Chain A
């Protein structure tokens, strides 16, 4: 039976029932790390490509830090990583939060849900890093 009170079927991630601090830590980890052990095992090729892309993204940030990469290239890298993260998460952690961000309701993520989640999350993370790099004078427009 479908539950129309949720936009998609409810899901309980492994950390959903933990105590407050453990749950918050798991939430933070969930936002920052798209891979899961199960997802890793199922997607060896994706895993390899993911590590490569993650490494290249780190190189891109490093180059930016040394002032050798233009801002637009950073944005392109970040965009590329985000696309990849969507694919990885759909296999590894296919859920998103429903309702208030401080709540513990989760639901299964469709492609568009995941696009919205990763796009929005990485926009916030990217903007924070970008502004930090820029305010430190490490980024040249």
Chain B
């Protein structure tokens, strides 16, 4: 099985690999980096450090925790420290849109200003072909000269809030938001280590001594002792019954907790050794064989497996910060085989505020064997009853996606209003179709054309919110590797659009999205209508029904191939997804792409003048993906028994979705509502027109048309009973 899979994977990759360079040129997309770049002491032997630090010609080994490299140059013949170079994945593993981190090399001078940024490797699908990597390079250039201590965000600058805004990359919002987090967190971590940024000043905790000695279970329940467990599969190892490492930890300065864990004598001894602004915490390992102290620890060095983080401050431990922990006094404590007391020597640390114990590990990619940095943490916050005045109130800054939603609140509200409005109008379609006739469809068309216009201009060209099959594949990818709601919430328009699509596909089928709100579909049909209106009607044509019934399957094959390819390589599936002209039309622009893409998109749009929605009917993989669940939509369009022989609707169906038996193919129907207008038009629907003529001829009343599409029957039964009553 695995051999077969490996063969298929290799075949697929080889085929696509032959195609991609020709299309995309050399890029950092899934670039092969030397394994040593993540571990070797001399980072700059493997990474182009000089490119991100102009003027530097000598670089130190990796130092500090998290790691960074010192960059040196020569001035007046003397070697001089110019700044620092850092590899983002040494510091943070924040994933981007693909679910994988963007490996970035960053240069920062001694004053904390960025001097160079280079993306070494990424897995962002949108940067593979949709948006040129040069756009990302230009985005990164915005950091040059900016100070790491500034409040840098994606979006417009807000001077009153001291926010420096960066221009996003259209169509890659999620990617650049993640990249901004990577830049600021990496730069900030190094800047704090080397003293460019001052540590945060926090008010020290004042403890309440309750005079009791809780047992271990109580300590755990109240949160005075916390647990940090890492499973083998979290670091890329085969799953097993034993954890990779299982740690318990807690803060010891609080008298009740300290005495409970250490016993009275040991607690007093420890406190006597601590100076002002010094804090003790303990760690024990109750499971796993991995050492939290590290097997490579040497005297005078750093403990490189554990650290404490509070806000943006990182506290690491040297040998002088270590004390032996011989035993745990609290009754019921688990057995342990490794233990330590570590001392945080900084007044910026405060036990009154939450902090995290971080275990620093490596994740092994089982496919390639490459190691990448990964950290695992558990938050600790001293229980309120041990703090004088309780826990301080903390206002956490908004998450990036929350800031985006707030920043674009008006546009989001307008967009949500559009979606709700269109759904509401469609839910009342019966009123519109009854108000319309075969000769005058404006009650329906006014809404539909308005939806198209807004969709093309506002949704497509302004918001760039064109749903795409690539999003479906990306979700699939995220489900496999790392699902993060934040990533999807970062693009609010696409997020809302997909909620709308999922709901309406189940209610009415794909037609409401495809036929009314898809920006490209709307543009395509709008061109067809305009073509007809300006005198090109005689050149407009449909495929014959038999031909259409053959060609319509192409889009399902396209979808199937894309889905199959995505099983082996998401990246190459993204390449094949270029069959969608959406990026070219809306995200990048017809004139901003290589000519084959422009020709393809322009060709489809040109063809749309003469054939109604050729892409939607025959090629669109997203349409195919949505058509499949449309088979089970809850509420379809109405038909009459006479439709089996009558061809009136079928002749006028632009989607060619009505077969010779008068049945509607719900997978192909784009809900234009033309057949529903006919359904209640007593002058155009043949069975209705026949009945109308019969009644007129017989001098009978023309009753309203019922929900079944027929005149409400006349039942003259009241006269007899009325006579009896008299």
Interface residues of A (CB under 8 A from B): 1-8, 66-68, 70-73, 75-76, 79, 96-97, 99-101, 112-113, 115-117, 119-120, 127, 130-131, 137-141
Contact = CB atoms under 8 A, between A and B. Distances in A.
Nearest to A130: B479
Contact of B567 (A1, A72, A100, A115): A72
B641 A99 contact: no
A6 to B, nearest CB: 7
Contacts of B2: 73
B371 interface: no
Interface of B: 1-2, 5, 231, 233-234, 236, 238-240, 366, 479-481, 567-568, 628-629, 631-632, 634-636, 638-641, 643-644, 661-667
B239 A66 contact: yes
30 contacts: A3-B644, A4-B640, A4-B643, A4-B663, A4-B664, A7-B636, A67-B233, A67-B239, A67-B240, A72-B5, A72-B480, A72-B568, A73-B5, A75-B567, A76-B1, A99-B634, A99-B635, A101-B634, A112-B631, A112-B667, A115-B628, A116-B632, A116-B667, A117-B631, A119-B628, A120-B632, A127-B479, A131-B479, A137-B239, A141-B481
A120 B644 contact: no
B245 to A, nearest CB: 15
Given A6-B663, A138-B239, A99 B231 contact: no
B239 A99 contact: no
Contacts of B644: 1-4
A73 B2 CA distance: 8
Given A2-B662, A6-B663, A7-B666, A117 B480 contact: no
A99 B636 contact: yes
Contact of B665 (A7, A79, A120, A130): A7
Contacts of B636: 7, 99
A119 B638 CA distance: 27
Contacts of A101: 632, 634
B99 to A, nearest CB: 9
A44 to B, nearest CB: 26
Contacts of B568: 72
B629 A4 contact: no
A140 B239 contact: yes
A6 B641 CA distance: 10
Which 3 A-B pairs rank lowest in CB-CB distance, beginning with the nearest?
A: A67-B239, A4-B662, A116-B631
A22 B416 CA distance: 42
Nearest to A114: B631
A22 to B, nearest CB: 23
A96 B632 contact: yes
Given A76-B5, A137-B233, A71 B480 contact: yes
A68 B238 contact: yes
Contacts of A119: 628
Contacts of B480: 71-72, 141
Contacts of B481: 141
A40 B695 CA distance: 56
A5 B641 contact: yes
B329 to A, nearest CB: 33
Contacts of B662: 2, 4
Given A2-B661, A4-B661, A138-B239, A76 B567 contact: yes
A119 to B, nearest CB: 6
Given A4-B640, A5-B639, A140 B632 contact: no
B233 A140 contact: yes
Contacts of B1: 73, 76
Contacts of A1: 641, 644
A68 B239 CA distance: 8
Nearest to B231: A137
A140 B238 contact: yes
Given A4-B643, A67-B239, A140 B634 contact: no
Given A2-B661, A3-B641, A127-B479, A97 B231 contact: no
Given A76-B567, A120-B631, A137-B233, 8 more contacts: A4-B640, A4-B641, A4-B663, A5-B640, A7-B665, A76-B5, A100-B635, A131-B479
Contacts of B239: 66-67, 137-138, 140
A139 B233 CA distance: 8
B447 to A, nearest CB: 25
A99 B666 CA distance: 11
Nearest to B666: A7
B5 A116 contact: no
Contacts of A8: 663
Contacts of B629: 116, 120
From A7, A8, A79, name the one whose CB has the most chain B CB atoms within 10 angstroms: A7
A136 B581 CA distance: 40
B634 A113 contact: no
Contacts of A140: 233, 236, 238-239, 366
A138 B238 CA distance: 10
A100 to B, nearest CB: 5
Given A5-B639, A66-B239, A100 B634 contact: yes
A113 B636 CA distance: 15
A66 B421 CA distance: 50
Nearest to A65: B239
Contacts of A79: 567
A75 B477 CA distance: 12
A67 B641 contact: no
A113 B627 CA distance: 11
Contacts of A73: 1-2, 5
Nearest to B628: A116
B208 to A, nearest CB: 39
Contacts of B631: 96, 112-113, 116-117, 120
A68 B88 CA distance: 32
A72 B661 CA distance: 43
Contacts of B639: 4-5
A38 B180 CA distance: 62
A100 B507 CA distance: 9
A96 B633 CA distance: 12
A7 B567 contact: no
A131 B632 CA distance: 24
A134 to B, nearest CB: 8
Contacts of A70: 366
Contacts of B664: 4, 7
A120 to B, nearest CB: 5
Contact of B663 (A7, A67, A115): A7
A140 B639 CA distance: 50
Contacts of B240: 67
A62 to B, nearest CB: 13
A67 B567 contact: no
Contacts of A3: 641, 644
B716 to A, nearest CB: 29
A58 to B, nearest CB: 14
Contacts of A127: 479
A140 B631 CA distance: 34
A96 B666 CA distance: 14
Contacts of A6: 663
Nearest to B564: A79
A71 B1 CA distance: 13
Contacts of A7: 636, 663-666
Contacts of B366: 70, 140
Contacts of A112: 631, 667
A25 B79 CA distance: 80
Best-buried of B1, B632, B666, B667 by chain A (most CB within 10 Å): B632
Contacts of A141: 480-481
B469 to A, nearest CB: 15
Nearest to B662: A4
Nearest to B482: A141
Contacts of B567: 72, 75-76, 79
